[in-house]
Chain A
Amino acid sequence: MTIPVRPETDRKIDELLTVYPMKGSALLPALYLVQEEKGHLSEESMEYVASKIGLSAAFVAGVVSFYTMFHRKPVGRHHIQVCRTLPCALSGSDDLMAHLKGRLGIVDGETRSDGAYSLVSVECLGACDRAPFIQINDEEHGPVDPAKMDEILKRLEPR
């Protein structure tokens, strides 16, 4: 099969196979590497990772579907994750989510057609002292009220 990733990523996965006492442990880090390059994990990517580690494609797909941080479909350039768990809910995360839906014109779980944004509610991010708390890609923000959110959005995609 053709290698669907950059040679550098392929080499990094080879290295991963030597790090762990059992090579199965290389699966999660390998998936992260591929997702970092590609943005999401396609069927082809999962088959590739499976063959690198010596696992079945079905097994890899089962693992990918178990973890919320692996994306089976493309997400936006700015992947906005809004925490909705109790401490954030007590501090107004519902209002923030409603505001974001209106501003971005997408619903929870959707990626905007121009690829700029995706929006998803997530569970406790371990930062309840900064509620309501959000993550955009791997950047953290909190507390975020609608006004603060508008500032952040302006910075992300200046017009």
Chain B
Amino acid sequence: MAFEPVLTRNIHRPDSGTIEGYLAAGGYQGLRRALKEFSPGQLVEEVKNSGLRGRGGAGFPTGMKWGFLPKTRDKPRYLCVNADESEPGTFKDRLLIEKDPHLVLEGIILSAYAIESSLAFFYIRGEFHEGYRIFQKAVQEARAKGFLGTNILGSGFSLDIIIYRGAGAYICGEETALLESLEGKRGYPRIKPPFPAIVGLYGCPTIINNVETLANVTLIAERGAAWYASIGRPPKNTGPKLFCLSGHVKRPGVFEAPLGVPFLELLNEHAGGMQHSDRPLKAAVPGGSSMKILPASKCDVLMDFDALAAAGTSLGSAGGIVMDTSTCMVTALLNVARFYAHESCGQCTPCREGTGWFVKILSRLERGDGRPEDVGLLTGIASNIEGNTVCPFGEAIAWPVESYVRVFREEFEEHAKRKACPMKTTAVR
């Protein structure tokens, strides 16, 4: 059976983004149906049965996460939407927010119903000015039509939504940093446990989900768990997925495919192949810059959570970054390290100091001032960071450093030995 794009089905409509266009395409039918046919608990079951796993990076089963909420009801529950999208190479949530905000909003309303929350927060990164304006308008439209507010569609369920703008900090995409930021503080990740489902926003039980995850909930309510679970690579990697490809490809963009699509199909068919016909693939990062790099020889992989884990990397945010043979891996890793040094919140010593050291060592290797011991120093610092930090940001920098150096060790050693870039270029191109 041919794959039918569903997450991106509305983005090319001329009226995409308006509630009229969304309704004309059958929008808010899933919400109508779910409010009539499902109790909140039944909707949680439906999402569990669909196999949906979080699209924000960790791939945690969504229905199971919802099930962690305490049974007691002495405190309000909150739903926080993670629209902070800041992982380098990732621009899929932006597409949904800007081109089909109601698909996301319907998913938010459904999910809030399922977890019995009457107040949702939409935390959008501050730089998404256009997305902020579009989503604000979508919320007003939905309110005017009775999809938000009190007693939605006569169901007795009420929901309000607050849009909250971040202010420029990558770490606020980490779920507990996001909560701190929403509380009006510096975005310092919290120590877990307690997990947000127990102690979250304002100390209350809170569910945090990614924008794309919630858009999938709309599809599940509309077409059912069985339909959803038949897409992709069941039973553990189900559903449609948005994949981003950037870097040295002919047509960078967001492409919808079932989970488990071959990486080479995304690259060669969807993205049109390599940018320059005389510069073949050298390496690719499948899931955003935090994930481990794969050399060209290992890029014949399926793009899903488990297949990529088996290949020694991760699907992450599905932000694929493609590099051709003109790329100097020392310069590329220096760029990545500089990002993490800039974005470390500074709470943990291994992360704060380690990212600084990476930049220092990689800069001197790149300049031609490297020392023979530098390559080993990089991996040593990486292994000191991994597992020794408050939040997974530590891994997000240890993984690229460890993998770039392991896969391209000779190239790193050549830089130290020759005191120059063996590719005779200092640009990352």
Contacts and interface: CB of A to CB of B under 8 A. Distances in A.
Given A26-B184, A89-B428, A129-B254, 14 more contacts: A25-B183, A86-B88, A89-B332, A90-B246, A94-B428, A123-B88, A124-B88, A125-B127, A126-B90, A126-B128, A127-B94, A128-B89, A128-B247, A131-B246
B89 A86 contact: yes
A85 interface: yes
Contact of A124 (B182, B184, B187, B339): B339
Contacts of A140: 129-130
Contacts of B343: 123
Contacts of A29: 164-165
A85 B335 contact: yes
A87 B168 contact: no
A128 B319 contact: yes
A25 B184 contact: yes
Interface string A1-31: 0000000000000000001111011111101
A135 interface: yes
A3 B352 CA distance: 39
Contacts of A24: 183-185
Interface in A27-43: 27-29, 31-32
Nearest to A138: B129
B181 interface: yes
B182 A25 contact: yes
Interface residues of A, number: 43
Nearest to A63: B186
A147 interface: no
A85 B86 CA distance: 11
Interface in A43-90: 53, 62-63, 66-70, 84-87, 89-90
Nearest to A22: B202
B407 interface: no
A92 interface: yes
A27 B332 CA distance: 37
Nearest to A62: B186
B252 A85 contact: no
Interface string B105-143: 000000000000001000001111110000000000000
Interface in B69-92: 76, 85-91
Given A22-B202, A126-B94, A128-B319, A69 B246 contact: no
A21 B169 contact: no
B427 interface: yes
Contacts of A123: 86, 88, 170, 339, 342-343
Interface of B: 76, 85-91, 93-94, 119, 125-130, 162, 164-170, 181-187, 202, 244-248, 252-254, 289, 319, 321, 323, 327, 332, 335-336, 339, 342-343, 345, 427-429
B253 A129 contact: yes
B393 to A, nearest CB: 14
Interface of A: 19-22, 24-29, 31-32, 53, 62-63, 66-70, 84-87, 89-92, 94-95, 122-131, 135, 138, 140
A31 B181 CA distance: 13
Nearest to B204: A21
A68 B252 contact: no
A126 B336 contact: no
A25 to B, nearest CB: 5
A126 B85 contact: yes
Contacts of B427: 94-95
Given A27-B184, A85-B289, A138-B129, A67 B89 contact: no
Contacts of A31: 167
Contacts of A127: 91, 94
B50 to A, nearest CB: 27
A90 B248 contact: yes
13 contacts: A21-B119, A26-B184, A28-B181, A68-B167, A85-B339, A86-B321, A87-B252, A90-B247, A94-B427, A123-B343, A124-B86, A126-B94, A128-B247
A29 B165 CA distance: 7
A21 B429 CA distance: 49
Nearest to A127: B91
Nearest to A69: B168
A17 B8 CA distance: 38
A20 B130 CA distance: 24
A43 B164 CA distance: 24
B245 to A, nearest CB: 8
B184 A135 contact: no
Nearest to B127: A125
A28 B164 contact: yes
A110 B202 CA distance: 39
B167 A28 contact: yes
A41 to B, nearest CB: 11
B76 A21 contact: yes
A63 B339 contact: no
Contacts of A70: 167-168
